[in-house]
Amino acid sequence: MKKLILSFLLISPIIIWAQEEPKTESGRFSLGVRSSMSLFNDGNAGIGQGAGGQFRIQVNKKVNTEWFADYITSGIGDYANRKDGHIGWSVMFYMSNSPNKKNSLSPYLLAGHCFDYTKMTDNFNSKNTLSRWSSAVQMGLGSHYNFTERFDVSLNAQYMIHLGREITANSYPSLIPEQYSPTIVISSSAAEIDLEGHLLVTMSMNYRLADFNKKK
């Protein structure tokens, strides 16, 4: 319950603002693919790389929504690895009055929420693993470059704050001198809400397939 309340408080101002905007250019549906890079990871993980997909449903001239899923892998030194899956959504507020104009940049602010699954595994012992489901809220900046009125390439960076117990992996010298492999300890934090997170940088290609509210 605490997670849901905190998520609502962080994103509700943008949702309310979006509802107050005049409903123009609504109903535009786009489909896209994305490539993601995760930086400044918590849990001792290094830089993560992954891919996924998304679709957008535009609310009005100034506001768009993006619904996404991606899968990211990262290494933890040479002794463990981390896998992350995200399923979530974002609200984008355009700074431009013509966000779909051909051969133009369309910068935007974004904020949203996602559910994420994290799994850490010992590279020397696959049975030494730990996983958890949690949620996160994210905020950031981005921009589309519109090659046409229907096709764009987008780049955004958003910081994701995890609302759940964090998982960490640490390596210690082996207690047995003859044993080459170090001792890997994978553990979960005691805090129910860990405000540390990571920066997610995403590049995507998107094509508008339909205009559901197109004027006749």
Low-confidence winner among 7-21, 140-154, 178-192 (lowest mean pLDDT): 7-21
pLDDT given at position 141: 96
Alpha-carbon distance values, 191 to 70, 113, 119, 164 (Å): 26, 20, 18, 8
Q: Residue 4 pLDDT more than 50?
A: no
Between 176 and 206, whose confidence is greater? 206
Name the pLDDT band for 125 (thresholds 50, 70, 90). confident
Share of the chain above pLDDT 70, in %: 77
pLDDT digits (tens, 9 = 90+) for 83-105: 999 999 999 999 988 788 888 89
Which residues have C-beta within 8 Å of that of residue 188, sequence separation ≥ 6? 130, 132, 165, 166, 167, 168
Q: Residue 178 pLDDT more than 90?
A: no
pLDDT given at position 212: 78
177 by Cβ neighbours in 10 Å (0-12 / 13-18 / 19+) ranks as exposed
Average pLDDT over the chain reads: 81
2-15+28-194 belongs to which CATH class?
A: mainly beta
Ramachandran angles phi, psi of 154, nearest 5°: -125, 150
Amino acid at 52: G
Which residues have C-beta within 8 Å of that of residue 9, sequence separation ≥ 6? none
pLDDT given at position 151: 95
Q: Where are the domains of the chain?
A: 2-15+28-194
